[in-house]
Amino acid sequence: NNYIRSHVGTSCRRMAHYDFDDVDLEALVNDMNSSFESLYTSCSVQTESTSLLHNGQPPRPAAYHTHAQPTSQHQRLCRSQPMHILAVRRLQEEDQQYRTSSLPAIPNPFPELCSPASSPTLSSGSFPQCQPSGKYIIKIFSEDGMGKVVEIPADMTARDLCQFLVYKNHCVDDNSWALVEHHPALGLERCLEDHELVVQVQASMTSESKFLFRKNYAKYEFFKNPLNFFPEQMVALCQETSGTIPPSQLLQNFLNSSSCPEIQGYLYVKEMGRKSWKKLYVFLRRSGLYFSTKGTSKEPRHLQLLADLEDSNVFTVITGRKLHNAPTDFKFCIKPNKVRNEVKELRMLCAEDEQSRTCWMTAFRLFKYGILLYQNYKIPQQRKTLLSHFSAPVRSVSENSLVAMDFSGRIGRVIDNPVEAQSAAMEEGHAWRKRSQRMNILGSPSPLHASSLSGVIHRTQLWFHGRLSREESHKMINQQGRVDGMFLLRDSQSNPKAFVLTLCHHQKIKHFQILLCEEDGQMFLSLDDGATKFTDLIQLVEFYVLNRGVLPCKLKHPCTTVAL
């Protein structure tokens, strides 16, 4: 480059000496041609004298450096100036192209890790391959069987996809939506963890498998009520330590990788490739699922591995007992990630009751993911706290700030006497009922009148599911999580004029019949044989959301379905 600058500079200086009034064009052309000719010749000689390139590569063929020299002054004059410039540029481009055809040699900073046959330099194949950041097509199904195709990036997690679907379908964002991996051929399903990548999960699924979008209230319920999920008789310490686990430190022991809690108890285990089941004493630890060959012994020589936690996932079996000849209805399965449609490779297990099955499956998730589950649980709460600082303040009105008023006179007055206030409220209620009854007698009310809407308005609510059978209501609550306060309302199959409230409490599903009762010619709905009466189901639900009444717990989580 310095050489080129010197020659160009010399040519420019020579051009500066000419006077443009009496310039000799022929002398000027000869001077420029001789300068570029010397530059071109020197570059060719210097390139030919080089024996090797920098990286130990052989020199370029001589054809790239051999150029015909002008033999006469006439030829030198006829050769145009741009020819020399293009030749130099071509040499530079060919030299640059030849140099970049192979990666430069990089010294290996760890030669001791290389085998004797390996090269001390890192080749192009030593570099990791870049994964393409393209888009992937995912099809999501709702519980009504309708599907929706979405395009997602490769790094989208299950939580992000759920948030996207909640936004697109205008759902209530209560952090209870989940993406479910469903295998109809195997009769298995599980909820994806919030941190799992959807594209990676889809890669391990078959063409018949699909993703479902629905509620799951029990996803992180064990962080709120750990004692309901882990019975004291099922939780124990490993044989390396002694003592009992304090209830307050139950979750800390599961999340702390240095501690050694374990889940123990009897399980029915299906033999691989057979239809028979064996009742074994099983231990679930961080290293895997084991069973004892000698009673309840924990000695290492009596323990055999049933399943590994690292390359497996725990699924709920949604098929009936007859298909697998199961001893109980509380089945679950440990499926290796490499298994697709091979039922023989599945580790089928069966618990005594629903609480035991929930304990085993929850402990499996905690042992596999550990602190990741707690981080997934805290993220929505942190986001809610962050958004609360930017949202408008909500005015809180307590019951003490509400007073009874009397507007019977010219001006309103505050009723201080509580007995008078209660009688005024009862009188106002009776007057409203009489007005409603009188409207029904005088003529047919408007379709928008409250009395006509009270019999059908509940059908627009998300918690009402119409003519749903008892078995279907059990299935829906099982799918969305058996947590305290989960409920739905449906038509009664035994009494066409009644309704049924299906409620979950302590992982047990109970049914309460809502009957019609008459008072002063007015029809009401009641759960407690007329002790508490309501004009419609919406009032009934709103009351038991705030008050337990005759129910074992308050109504908290409505069992809903969404259409994509």
Question: Could you identify the residue written with the tokens 């129910």?
Answer: 551
| pLDDT band at residue 459 using 50, 70 and 90 as cut-offs | confident
How much is the pLDDT for 554?
94
Distances, alpha carbon 32 to alpha carbons 78, 92, 351, in Å: 12, 21, 97
Question: Could you identify the residue written with the tokens 């409490």?
Answer: 505
Report the range out of 7-16, 95-104, 186-195, 421-430 with the highest average pLDDT. Answer: 186-195
The percent helix, strand, coil of the chain (3-state, each to 5) is 35, 20, 40
Q: Give pTM, 2 decimals.
A: 0.63
**Tokens standing for 282?**
């099983």
Structure-model confidence comparison of residues 20 and 335, the more confident one: 335
Note the pLDDT tens digit of each residue in 204-219.
898 899 999 999 999 9
Q: Hey, CA dihedral for 332, 329, 363, 218, is it positive or negative?
A: positive
CB atoms within 10 A of CB 357: 22
**Tokens standing for 334?**
């440990």
Residue 37's nearest CA partner among 112, 88, 96 is: 88
**Tokens standing for 521?**
């010619």
Q: Please check the confidence at residue 76 and state whether its pLDDT lies above 50.
A: no
Q: Please check the confidence at residue 112 and state whether its pLDDT lies above 90.
A: no
Q: Please check the confidence at residue 82 and state whether its pLDDT lies above 50.
A: no
Parallel, antiparallel, or unpaired for β 499-505 and 210-215?
unpaired
Distances, alpha carbon 163 to alpha carbons 149, 166, 177, in Å: 15, 5, 8
Structure-model confidence comparison of residues 552 and 438, the more confident one: 552
Q: Please check the confidence at residue 362 and state whether its pLDDT lies above 60.
A: yes
How much is the pLDDT for 447?
40
Parallel, antiparallel, or unpaired for β 261-270 and 277-285?
antiparallel
Separation of alpha carbons 529 and 546, rounded Å: 20
Q: Please check the confidence at residue 316 and state whether its pLDDT lies above 90.
A: yes
| pLDDT band at residue 360 using 50, 70 and 90 as cut-offs | very high
Separation of alpha carbons 283 and 289, rounded Å: 6
How much is the pLDDT for 464?
93
Helix ranges (DSSP H) in 158-239:
158-168, 198-203, 221-224, 226-229
Residue 444 phi/psi, 5-degree rounding, is -70, 125
**Tokens standing for 380?**
């929505």
> What are 523's strand-pairing partners?
518
| pLDDT band at residue 78 using 50, 70 and 90 as cut-offs | very low
Q: Please check the confidence at residue 524 and state whether its pLDDT lies above 60.
A: yes
Give mean pLDDT, residues 311-333: 90
How much is the pLDDT for 74?
45
Parallel, antiparallel, or unpaired for β 210-215 and 135-141?
parallel
Give mean pLDDT, residues 507-536: 89
How much is the pLDDT for 402?
66
How much is the pLDDT for 442?
45
- Stretch among 87-91, 485-489, 496-500 having the lowest mean pLDDT: 87-91
For the chain, the average pLDDT equals: 75
**Length of the chain in residues, anyone?**
564
Note the pLDDT tens digit of each residue in 404-434.
777 777 777 888 787 887 777 777 666 655 5
* CB-based burial, 185-202: b 16+ in 10 Å, e otherwise: ebbbbbbbbbebbbbebb
> Cα angle vertex 201, ends 197, 207, to 5°?
145
How much is the pLDDT for 71?
46
How much is the pLDDT for 89?
54
**Tokens standing for 135?**
């888009």
Q: Please check the confidence at residue 379 and state whether its pLDDT lies above 80.
A: yes
Note the pLDDT tens digit of each residue in 272-303.
878 899 999 999 999 899 999 999 998 999 99
Q: Please check the confidence at residue 437 and state whether its pLDDT lies above 60.
A: no
How much is the pLDDT for 160?
94
How much is the pLDDT for 237?
66
Structure-model confidence comparison of residues 260 and 448, the more confident one: 260
**Tokens standing for 446?**
């408007």
Q: Please check the confidence at residue 79 and state whether its pLDDT lies above 60.
A: no
Helix ranges (DSSP H) in 449-554:
450-453, 470-480, 537-546
Note the pLDDT tens digit of each residue in 125-180.
333 334 445 889 999 998 878 899 999 999 999 999 999 999 888 888 888 899 99
Structure-model confidence comparison of residues 481 and 19, the more confident one: 481
Q: Please check the confidence at residue 108 and state whether its pLDDT lies above 70.
A: no
How much is the pLDDT for 398?
45
Parallel, antiparallel, or unpaired for β 177-183 and 188-191?
antiparallel
**Tokens standing for 363?**
């402990």
**Tokens standing for 449?**
């009148």
